[in-house]
Amino acid sequence: MKINRRKLVLNSSMAMVLMGLIAFIFVNKESKIKDFPVPMSAIHINDDKEEDYKYISVMPITKVSGWENLGENGHTVSFKKGERKVTVLHYPGEIRYYLFEKKMNNED
C-alpha cells in the first residue's frame, strides 16, 4: 500500500510541475507597450531607448489576442488595434524580439 501511495504522490507532483511549466511557456503577460501581450517566458531587456522594447523569448511572438494581425513582411509582423500599430521584429537564429509602437493616422 505504501508503494502505491508513493507513486501517487510522485505522479501528482510531476503533473503539477509539468502543468506549471506549460502555463509559464504558453500564458501571456502585458509588455511594456500598454495592452500588448507577450509570452510569460519573455524577459524585458532594459535599454535607454523608450520608443522600442527588446525581449528575449523562447516562444515566438506571432499571435496576439485582441490585436488584428496585419501580416508578415520579411522579419517583421505587424499588429493593429484601433489607432495603434505594433511591429514585432525578429531576426532568424536569434531569440530576441524587438517591439515598436506607432500611432496611426486616419490617412495611413
Q: Strand, coil or helix: what is 8? A: helix
Residues listed for the chain: 108
For 97, residues 6+ apart whose C-beta sits below 8 A from its C-beta are 38, 42, 54, 55, 56, 57, 61, 88, 89, 90
Q: Is residue 108, in this structure, part of any structural domain at all?
A: no
17 domain-assigned: yes
Long-range contacts of 41-48 (CB under 8 A, 24+ apart): 42/97, 45/96
Per-residue pLDDT tens for 39-80?
A: 665 666 565 655 556 666 656 666 677 788 888 888 888 888
As a whole number, mean pLDDT of residues 82-92 equals: 84
- Residue 88 belongs to a domain: yes
Q: Which domain holds residue 98?
A: 2-103
d(CA 19, CA 77): 29
pLDDT at 108 over 60: no
- Tell me the pLDDT band of 32, cut-offs 50, 70 and 90: low
Average pLDDT over residues 87-98: 81
How many domains is the chain built from?
1
pLDDT of residue 60: 65
Looking at the chain, the whole-number percentage of residues with pLDDT higher than 70 is 55
